[in-house]
Amino acid sequence: MSVISFSKRLFLGSRSLLSGMGLTFGYFINPRTVVTQQYPDNRQSLQMFQRFRGKVIMPHQTDNTHNCTGCGICESACPNGTITILTRKNEETKKKELEQFVYRFETCIICNHCIEACPFDAIAMSNDFETAVYDRRELVQQLNQPGSHLATGDESKTENKTEK
């Protein structure tokens, strides 16, 4: 290493050190320009980015209906078996309907394949980032709410999209 390159590196290193220390000293002098967010205190106003991938959720309308037809495309798109779809045959209509949508967050790799594969937009990724629990059994969830059913008008979607 030559003397010129050593002195150049020493000068640039000293300049960047003084620049960082100047910024820190500026925050010390003027404490109103706070950069750090006080996480537990600002929990009400904190919003994650729109592209953030959290848990898989199943949005329900106000009348407790959802768009999931129980086709199982999301289950087959999941690379590690995180989703299990349990269906039953409706005796009146003789069609398959969703009984349980079981989601295991403990094994989810948050890859978004299930969301992209769903032809009915029945599931989505939430923006919830506080997913820590004390009991592992809480990580296995049933996404469809008790008593929920397929939204009206979606039966024709089931026939058209699953036959293709």
Report pLDDT for 26.
83
Averaged pLDDT for residues 99-103: 95
Averaged pLDDT for residues 52-71: 93
Averaged pLDDT for residues 48-71: 92
Q: Which two tokens stand for residue 62?
A: 């106000």
**Average predicted confidence (pLDDT) for the chain:** 86
Q: Among positive and negative, which fits the CA dihedral 92, 93, 96, 100?
A: negative
Total residues found in the chain within this entry? 164
**Rounded Cα gap, residues 36 and 58, in angstroms:** 34
Report pLDDT for 163.
46
**Rounded Cα gap, residues 19 and 25, in angstroms:** 10
Instruction: Say if residue 158's pLDDT is above 60.
Output: no
Averaged pLDDT for residues 125-148: 92
Averaged pLDDT for residues 134-141: 95
Q: List the Cα angle 14/16/21 in 5-degree steps.
A: 95
